Amino acid sequence: MPKTTCPRCGAEVDAAVALRNPVAPTPKVGDLGVCLRCEGPMEVQADGTLKAIDLHTVADDPFRLLVIAILSIRARKREGWTP
Ligand SMILES: [Zn+2]
């Protein structure tokens, strides 16, 4: 994915990972994700940048996946992993 920054914390974002797929996905417009550093939810825009989104405005299914992603990131951080 093209290099961009997290709209919340400014962390450099240049790759994506999927929760249940070992192959790195190619983000598409409208895809949702979570910043590894600040755990903020975001959405891929047409120009390749990321827009911060409010987790509470997301539909139920993507909401569950985003929460799972946030909890997974937190668990890895508790184990000592740093993004
Ligand atoms: Zn961030």
- Give residue limits of the domains in the chain: 4-78
* 46 Cα to the center of ligand 1, angstroms: 19
Residue type, 69: A
* 40 Cα to the center of ligand 1, angstroms: 6
Give pLDDT, residue 34: 94
Comparing CA positions, the residue from 30, 31, 39, 33 lying closest to residue 9 is 39
* Confidence grade of residue 24 (pLDDT, cut at 50, 70, 90): confident
Q: Calculate ∠ Cα 45-50-51, nearest 5°.
A: 85
CATH topology of domain 4-78: Rubrerythrin, domain 2 (2.20.28)
- The order of strands in the sheet holding 32-34 is 32-34, 41-44, 50-52
* 35 Cα to the center of ligand 1, angstroms: 5
Q: What number is the average pLDDT over the span 4-20? A: 90
Q: What is the dihedral of CA 25, 18, 20, 57, to 10 degrees?
A: -120
Q: What pairing do the DSSP bridges indicate for beta strands 12-13 and 50-52? A: unpaired
* 10 Cα to the center of ligand 1, angstroms: 6
